[in-house]
Structure 1
Amino acid sequence: MDIEPKGKVIPSKVDDYRLLLDDTQGWGGSAVTDVPDTDLWLSDDIDLRDDLIGSYYSEYQPKAYRFEEHIFLQSEEDGKMNTAYSTIYLFNTVIDEVLGTIGDEDEKKKLYAEAKVHRAFAYLKLVNIYAKQYDPATASTDLGLPMQLKPVLEGSLSRGNVQEVYDLILADLNEVYDYLPDTQIELWRPSKASASALLARTYLIMGDFTNALKYSDISLGLYSYLTNYNDLPAHNWYPALLDFGQRYLNKEQLLMKNPLSDYYMMYPSQEFMDLFDQVNDLRYTGKITYEWSNPGTNLYYYYSTNTGSSYGLTVPEMLLIRAECNARKGATGISAAMDDINLIRENRIATAAYAPLSAADATEALEIVKEERRRELAFMGTRYTDIRRYNAYDNANISIVHTVNGENFTLAPGDNRWALPFARKYIEKNPEIEQNPR
């Protein structure tokens, strides 16, 4: 064990750990930007093409779309969960080792902080796929996640509870906040702006709208860049679409993350498309088109690195969180909520057709915010979580209905299947992992 293997680098200097946290391609492992995106296949924004089941889609996607009891066969692993825990292992390695290594002390603290923000993001994503919606009355007893906090390959994988996951996320973000720069140097490197944004998202999901408002406002005070879609050129490959540039150039991002289904064509549901002004909303005309390989069969949402799509934290999301929290304040927050909504729309609607929106009361303002949130954050990994929390906090009574070969599959409010099952292989090898009730 004292012999360093040839062709390998054992991290020993600050620069080595910087290389680990700057790996956005995943060479030799998962990229720091990769996050699971199973929830994309669960929401009401997407349709699954019947004719592509068994060929285009992976086996798990139709099963997830049908809300099946088990998404994976007895012998199969959950690749999305594997990736998430691979990145968590990487972040744990940096957290556990970097402060004791050779190099500049301030850089050590910054790397330690970055790893904690990345880990918090990963756990927030996982807990909103594989555990129940946060409920302060039951969070201390609802099954949470196996929380690995050290870079070890052995040990207990008992799940703990949902409250413990959120406590870890909040504690980590608050601990390292002062070690971070105000704004991002690279889009994948955390900053105070992105840590504030992650705190805002976390508190929003928890139903703590006071703190969600506080941290979204702090994040926007640090960084608030918006792209005006009216200024974007046509796409080289798809002239009917807009060219948003590569994801790593999208300056609206506060923290860049990549969905694992990066190049899949997402077929939007009719319900989702009906939310748009299909003539003047550039989010529709600039991103939704006919499939190039089979023209005229289905509209799809062109979703990949080439549309600048973000699966992480963005300025528009912070504007929407701030708007929602203000709308929930009642009459005193209506004006502020609509200001943020109109700021987004002014940069998304064709200039000649743009007109500011207004709301007669707080109820209408909140509905406008929710619709705008669904349009703006489409296929960015928020819709499934949004429905869960609307059902919990607003008694929204939203069901998701998917149709496959003429048969309807319904996920109703209160159904245990809102928390995805763990792959059976994991439980077979680690009996302490309790399966989600079905």
Structure 2
Amino acid sequence: MKNIKYIKITAALLLLVGVSSCDDFLSEVPDNRTQIDTPEKISELLVNAYPLASYMDLGETMSDNVADAELNNASVKSTQSYYWEMQDETNIDTQANYWDACYRAIAHANQALQSIKELGNPTSLNPQKGEALLARAYSHFMLVTFWSNRYNPATAATDLGVPYVTEPETELLKSYKRNTVKEVFDFIQQDIEEGLRYVSNNYKEPKFHFNKEAAKAFASRFYLIKGDWDKVLEVSSGLGSKPVGKLKDYVTLSSLAPDIQFIEYSKSSLTSNLLIGSPNTLVGRSANGSNFYLTDEKQRELFNGTNPFGKAWLFDFYSYNSSSTLFTPKFEEYFKYTNLTANIGIAYCGIVLLSNDEFYLNRIEALVMKNRIADANTELEYFLGTRTAGYNAATDKLTEADVVAGYPVIADELTPFYTMTDVQTSYVKALTEARRRDFVHEGLRWFDVKRFNIVVSREDQGKPVNTLVKDDKRRALQIPLSASNYGVEKNPR
């Protein structure tokens, strides 16, 4: 077992700064602290440069992928998330928990970078430097995605972003100022571009680190949000046209029993999976315990009926004990017992953070936005075919007319910060629906709800209609109390 190196985090950004932890910090003898002074220690430190919490349940619950199943067992935190409110709790799978986890990950990345600098920035440590930069960029990107307004170059210079932290923690209760969205995006881009120059695949387990392809996939997500289509195409060029063998094999997945699908979906051996996390999360239990999940009605809306080829989708759905919520097997939980007698422990889950499937969809969208419609059509046809039961490449064809008819333009439905022609709008709409299906349960739908300013309405029986309108202030989560109490400016409400 690896001797993982942890560093003490005591920033005001973090949520769990209590009296006891302060006492522990102040009573430490500096000479007894772990010194991160070798390449091996730096590599071990970077294991913790990824959020040890999950955003997936949070993002999914806020999106239009879920509805009220009326199971009468809704938790307070899921109800608050469902209605875009600030959560009171700070425990597992909450807003505050993810904020905390991201800044802890950033602190580990920063300590690694500082240690590399103190060792003289040797080229032999460039791979670790690249990983640290990309990990720092990733956590800041996730933070600004959830806690700030969507990126819009017209307002980014004044919109509140998040504190972009680039140095290790050296003060007990340091005061942090929020950077603007533009500043955060500029810092992220700088870290991504430098990190891409250094990152390698030289790991024992590459899929649990920012390897070269995972770095490019993350870059494509960032540049897509920013509207830099040329950059998306540049970083995704290695996928090529119709990337055979690089996407998830749903023909094989759908032939497996659900208990096997749980395991297979996030396996590091799958070519399609580029970066895998193992956070402390109960997302795997959501289908069995959340009132706000994929209801029968939502499942029919997304997956029933025929697809653009007039055939069925290859996605499988199941329910627990005839529940009115459904799930497709994606999350295999590992429960680590801390006390067998008391039957208590910590739940971990393997989750796919970045994949070729998202990477490829990002590339297709960039082709659309560059007005390369014929190329985009070819790639979209291939992608949808890999998700279609009985797909025949020789006879199952997708035309521009099919896309325009199947995904008609609705005024003000998708309103990004840039303009789109009617044809582009139809293709982008098709891509958002493809992404919505592929990543159901995984929270990515919230990213599209936000960047396209999609209206979401809660029209639940016996309750007033609650609508997340365009530019609704609730689209930016409120800063956690334990951060705002230490001076981090709140979002306007």
| Same fold? TM cut 0.5 | yes
Aligned to 2:38: 13
The Cα shift of 1:182 comes to: 6.3
Distance 1:136 1:114 in 2: 28
Aligned to 2:491: 436
Aligned to 1:349: 388
Pairing partner for 1:81 from 99, 114, 118: 99
Aligned to 1:414: 471
Aligned partners of 1:196 and 1:215 also within 8 Å: yes
Change (3 A) 1:31 1:189: closer
Change (3 A) 1:388 1:410: same
Aligned to 1:305: 332
Change (3 A) 1:183 1:111: closer
Corresponding residue SS for 1:374: helix
**Any gaps of 5 or more consecutive residues in structure 1?**
24-29, 392-397
Aligned to 1:47: 67
Distance 1:255 1:400 in 2: 30
Aligned partners of 2:262 and 2:332 also within 8 Å: no
Pairing partner for 1:90 from 108, 122, 125: 108
Distance 1:61 1:211 in 2: 37
Aligned to 2:427: 365
Distance 2:315 2:123 in 1: 45
Equivalent runs, 1:212-361 vs 2, <5 Å: 212-218=232-238, 225-232=246-253, 234-236=255-257, 238=259, 244-257=264-277, 260-266=281-287, 267-269=293-295, 270-271=297-298, 273-277=300-304, 281=312, 283-285=314-316, 288-291=317-320, 294-305=321-332, 310-330=351-371, 333-351=372-390, 355-360=396-401
Q: Does 1:131 align with 2:131?
A: no
Output the amino acid matched with 2:315. Y
Distance 1:365 1:31 in 2: 34
Corresponding residue SS for 1:12: coil
Q: Does 1:189 align with 2:209?
A: yes
The Cα shift of 1:168 comes to: 0.8
Output the amino acid matched with 2:427. A
Aligned to 2:6: none
The Cα shift of 1:340 comes to: 1.8
Aligned partners of 1:41 and 1:61 also within 8 Å: yes
Could you tell me the percent identity over the aligned residues?
23
Output the amino acid matched with 2:274. L
Distance 2:480 2:239 in 1: 37
The Cα shift of 1:82 comes to: 1.1
Give CA-to-partner distance per residue, 1:358-415, whole Å, 9 cap, x none: 2226343333222222222323332112122223xxxxxx311234563232111111
Aligned to 1:207: 227
Q: Name the count of aligned residue pairs.
A: 409
Aligned to 2:450: 388
**Any gaps of 5 or more consecutive residues in structure 2?**
1-28, 288-292, 334-348, 405-422
Aligned partners of 2:273 and 2:352 also within 8 Å: no
Distance 1:79 1:232 in 2: 32
Corresponding residue SS for 2:458: strand
The Cα shift of 1:163 comes to: 0.6
Q: Does 1:111 align with 2:128?
A: yes
Corresponding residue SS for 1:313: strand
Aligned to 2:5: none
Distance 1:224 1:89 in 2: 37
Aligned partners of 1:77 and 1:425 also within 8 Å: no
Pairing partner for 2:137 from 120, 129, 133: 120
* TM-score of the aligned structures, taking structure 2 as reference length: 0.74
Distance 2:106 2:381 in 1: 38
Equivalent runs, 1:373-384 vs 2, <5 Å: 373-384=435-446
Change (3 A) 1:2 1:274: closer
Distance 2:388 2:156 in 1: 41
Change (3 A) 1:245 1:417: closer
Output the amino acid matched with 2:32. E
Output the amino acid matched with 2:360. L
Distance 1:232 1:301 in 2: 11
Change (3 A) 1:44 1:347: same
The Cα shift of 1:170 comes to: 0.3
Corresponding residue SS for 2:268: helix
Distance 2:428 2:50 in 1: 37
Distance 1:381 1:18 in 2: 29
Output the amino acid matched with 1:325. A
Corresponding residue SS for 1:401: strand
Aligned to 2:24: none
Aligned partners of 1:265 and 1:302 also within 8 Å: no
The Cα shift of 1:242 comes to: 7.7
Distance 2:362 2:252 in 1: 25
Distance 2:442 2:159 in 1: 26
Output the amino acid matched with 1:335. A
Change (3 A) 1:343 1:223: closer
Corresponding residue SS for 2:360: helix
RMSD: 3.3
Pairing partner for 2:457 from 390, 398, 401: 401
Distance 2:223 2:303 in 1: 29
Give CA-to-partner distance per residue, 1:315-371, whole Å, 9 cap, x none: 1112111111212233xx122112222222232222357723222263433332222
The Cα shift of 1:265 comes to: 2.5
Distance 1:411 1:234 in 2: 39
The Cα shift of 1:2 comes to: 5.6
Change (3 A) 1:146 1:16: same
Aligned to 2:484: 427
Change (3 A) 1:10 1:16: same
* TM-score of the aligned structures, taking structure 1 as reference length: 0.82
Distance 1:197 1:41 in 2: 25
Q: Does 1:60 align with 2:89?
A: no
Aligned partners of 2:263 and 2:331 also within 8 Å: no
Q: Does 1:171 align with 2:208?
A: no
The Cα shift of 1:15 comes to: 0.9
Aligned partners of 1:258 and 1:312 also within 8 Å: no
Aligned partners of 1:187 and 1:253 also within 8 Å: yes
The Cα shift of 1:236 comes to: 4.6
